[in-house]
Amino acid sequence: MEHRAGDHRARVVGARVDLVFAALADPSRRFVLERLARGSASQSELAGELPVTRQAVAKHLATLREAGLVHAERRGRETRYELDSAPLGDAAAWLDRVGSEWDERLAALARHVGGPGGR
């Protein structure tokens, strides 16, 4: 049963990482994240800084919220968006793990063919 719990956790984290990478695939969403890293902003403020419509900004924010990268906070009549960088840590950990696996494979290949210069 413990193995299944670990598999389930890996699938959940994997799905979350997939959402993060999908969100990061768009340059406008990356801009929004960079902007929110400097402080909260409203949808209107973000739309004023991007060459897209307010409707497009709303869709970008929805994608970022789905990935857990931003959250909305109501302040009076205004909704402010803030960065949540925790999911980026999951993605970075995945990249590190995959990078380490490739480093090991490349080192094994180098040993097999006779070192850095080959044979």
Residue 66 within any structural domain of the chain: yes
Tens of pLDDT, residue by residue over 79-90, are 999 999 999 988
- Domain of 43, in residue numbers: 2-84
Instruction: Note if the pTM is more than 0.85.
Output: no
Residue 103 within any structural domain of the chain: no
DSSP 21-77: HHHHTSHHHHHHHHHHHT--EEHHHHHHHSSS-HHHHHHHHHHHHHTTSEEEEEETT
Q: Indicate the pLDDT class of residue 33, thresholds 50, 70 and 90.
A: very high
Tens of pLDDT, residue by residue over 55-75, are 999 999 999 999 999 999 999
Residue 118 within any structural domain of the chain: no
| Number of domains forming the structure of the chain | 1
Q: CATH code at 50? A: 1.10.10.10
Residue 119 within any structural domain of the chain: no
Residue 48 within any structural domain of the chain: yes
